[in-house]
Structure 1
């Protein structure tokens, strides 16, 4: 009888440990800038990030072959707020002035649109195919940078979203690092 009781107790303990481990692995615990393979839930890569933190996406304009810098911050609602854009030339795909409430200035040979408050729940991005020089910059002073080509194929489409990852996704995924 004692042996049967110990076996049941051991089985219940083992099941409880498995349930706790399962729950720990499945509960989201870390906020991240997540790059999903477009139109899927497959995580291509992620960068741990918190509300209020900023990052930049720098891409090479395929016609002018100059950098375009788009600056974002993560909102309280886990969305993106674009707050500044910097570029060198007007033309295809580039704004020629600021929108309502925004400021348009020319500084150090570049055009800046400041005071932007453009909010997006997700952003669809294509890593350049012909001119593939997209970069992700982050850190307090923008001191950390990676090239998209280190994580994505040229021409690849993906959806960028601020999401909460569980331990399984975090351990299984490709963490972006400097």
Structure 2
């Protein structure tokens, strides 16, 4: 009888360990939106190394769209590749100090080949002109409005992280 209880106890402990690993071991890469200066996940978008995404916002003075194009790197950093905007002036860069190419195409200004690498991005959802969007997919075919997930004026940190099953289940997945 004592041998049976000991065996049952060992099996229970092993099952608990396996369940803990399944629930709490980070396994899936995601673009994670953390509430500013916390580890509280506001939302996440499943993403892989090499995937690109765009953050589009409406410039509060020019009232035209500004598109920032990013790529996920293998070390979970974020590389800004390009910025596209319509009006040259207040708040808009004239060139890239890190070797990017400034061009005017199709009625828009582009700074290409930026190669700016960030461990994270601090961002504020527009409050005055709340028209921030997140775009992703091979041909940028998916888009959501930040206001569907965040309050206007909300501040958050965007990082590429690995999430556990538990974090996936309790977080808000961004989807169309």
Equivalent-residue separation in structure 1 for 2:124 and 2:160 (angstroms): 17
Equivalent-residue separation in structure 1 for 2:98 and 2:3 (angstroms): 74
Q: Which residue of 2 aligns with 1:101?
A: 99
Q: What are the Cα deviations for residues 9-55 of structure 1, in whole angstroms up to 9, with x where unaligned?
A: 12221121011101221211001000000000000000011111100
TM-score of the superposed pair, with normalisation by structure 2: 0.96
Equivalent-residue separation in structure 2 for 1:130 and 1:97 (angstroms): 27
TM-score of the superposed pair, with normalisation by structure 1: 0.95
Misfit runs of 4+, over 4 Å: none
Q: What are the Cα deviations for residues 93-142 of structure 1, in whole angstroms up to 9, with x where unaligned?
A: 10123434211111111101111110000100000011000000000000
Equivalence map 1:9-158=2 (5 Å): 9-158=7-156
CA contact (8 A) 2:29 2:161 kept: yes
Task: Compute the RMSD of aligned alpha carbons.
Answer: 1.0
Instruction: Give the secondary structure class of the aligned counterpart of 2:27.
Output: strand
Instruction: Give the secondary structure class of the aligned counterpart of 1:129.
Output: coil
Pairwise CA distance, 1:8: 2.2
Pairwise CA distance, 1:76: 1.5
Give the number of aligned pairs: 176
Equivalent-residue separation in structure 2 for 1:108 and 1:23 (angstroms): 52
Instruction: Give the secondary structure class of the aligned counterpart of 1:99.
Output: coil
Distance 1:157 1:23, change over 3 A: same
Q: Which residue of 1 aligns with 2:170?
A: 172
Equivalent-residue separation in structure 1 for 2:13 and 2:143 (angstroms): 44
More moved, 87-96 vs 98-107: 98-107
Instruction: Give the secondary structure class of the aligned counterpart of 1:6.
Output: helix
Equivalent-residue separation in structure 2 for 1:21 and 1:100 (angstroms): 47
